[in-house]
Amino acid sequence: MSPEIICYPGNERLGGQLGAALSCAIIDLESRHFPDGEFYFRVSGDVRGKSIVIACTLDRPNEKALGVYLLASTLRDLGASKIVLVAPYLAYMRQDRVFHSGEGVSARYFARFLSGALDALVTVDPHLHRIGALSDVYAIPTRVVHAAPAISRWIKSNVSLPFVIGPDSESAQWVSEIARDVDCPFVVLEKLRRGDRDIEVSLPAGTDVGGRQPILVDDIISTGRTMAEAAKHLLEVQSRTPICVGVHAVFAGDAHQQLLTAGASRVVTCDTIEHSTNEIDLTPWLAPAVAALL
Ligand code: R5P
């Protein structure tokens, strides 16, 4: 039986792109809130015995995660044989250990919650830092799509003489891969984070971007402080305005504007979260990862 796709409200573009790439039908979903704010979902058609893909990226996750849980449980009761969540942005990956006494590890709790409702998960570059692999916390099969090849392709077609820069040691993994694909130099900045919005970065001594175009690449742009501080620092020490490339356009508050004000000449993101800066389409990489799980 052919798999079908259901778009969580607000994820019609993601579901539509996947449906076209995988030649899957889209199932209609009636959704609304009861007057007290609780969810109401009604699935059209017959899902018995079918593999169903839920398309729902998980930025601003607190409400959506519960909605996905209820929708997946509904599909299960309606007889779906397999339920796969495609969440190009996977939330709750950054509280991946106890940093201060009294805290918990929300990455683990969130993984347990989703694993209880789904059969498989596909995502893009989850923030794996102190957790080595999704399988360390998710009890269901997962597939991780890497955005680096798509970012490399974008750089090759849009920037001549690039110099790739990672804002912190965590970015070294994808920045080095992108620089190798693009065949250009790269460097990783030293970052000191004192709080959510209090960050200091510096270019390692002796770095000279010369006449090249600096491109800052990070996985998540949330408050934008990391990218903004890096952009300001580059302007100060190298007199070059960088292009900022992010995988996940979280953009909390006015982060996008702050980044432009800090000196970014252009801000470009992958389409894991819908935003006006989305220029890099990951569907060609996402679709085969989903197909492998169906
Ligand atoms: C950090 O570990 C990540 O790779 C990003 O650098 C970070 O999440 C960016 O956050 P913000 O935009 O809030 O500085």
221 alpha carbon – ligand 1 mean position (Å)? 6
For every residue of 44-94, DSSP letters joined together read -S--TT-EEEEE---SSHHHHHHHHHHHHHHHHHTT-SEEEEE-SS--S-S
The DSSP element (H or E) to which 186 belongs, if any, is strand 186-188
The predicted pLDDT at position 203 comes to 82
- Atom 7 (ligand 1): residue with closest C-alpha? 220
34 alpha carbon – ligand 1 mean position (Å)? 36
- Atom 5 (ligand 1): residue with closest C-alpha? 220
Per-10-residue mean pLDDT for the chain, 294 residues long? Answer: 94 98 96 97 96 98 98 98 98 95 97 98 94 96 98 97 91 92 94 78 83 94 91 84 96 93 94 98 97 94
